[in-house]
Amino acid sequence: MILTASPDDDFDRIAGHVAELQHLADHEQAVWEYRAIARDGHEVWLRSIETVFTRAADGGVLRHIGVAFDITAEKNAEAVLRQANASLTQQLADRGNAAQLSGA
C-alpha cells in the first residue's frame, strides 16, 4: 500500500507527534494512531510505533525509526460497536420512557 497523504484535519496531530519525538528518552517508544490516504484514494488507519535512532551532539533527535501497522479493520469494528452501543442505549431509554408512561 502506497500512502499519498493524510487527511487535512490530521496534519496538526502529525506535527504534534513529530514535536513529541524530540522529547523521547533513549529506548522509549512513541505509539500513535493516525489516518492516511492510500494511493487509490481510500482512507486507512495506521498505528505507528517509533523510537529515536540517532541523536545530535546536543542530544536532539536527528532520526527516528518506526513501523506502522494497518489498523483499519480494528477502527471499523470499533465504529460498529459504538453504533450498536448507542442503539442499545437508546432502546433501553425508550423502554424506560414507555414503562413510565404506562405506569409500570
Backbone phi, then psi, for 88, in 5-degree steps? -65, -40
Cα distance between residue 101 and residue 3, in whole Å: 55
Q: Using one digit for the tens of pLDDT, what is the confidence trace for 5-57? A: 666 677 777 788 888 888 899 989 999 998 888 888 889 999 999 999 999 99
What pLDDT was estimated at residue 104?
Answer: 59
pTM more than 0.85 = no
What pLDDT was estimated at residue 40?
Answer: 87
Residue scoring higher pLDDT (82 or 7): 82
pLDDT at 97 over 60: yes
DSSP output for 35-68: EEEETTS-EEEEEEEEEEEEE-TTS-EEEEEEEE
| Number of helices followed by number of strands (H, E) in the chain | 2, 4
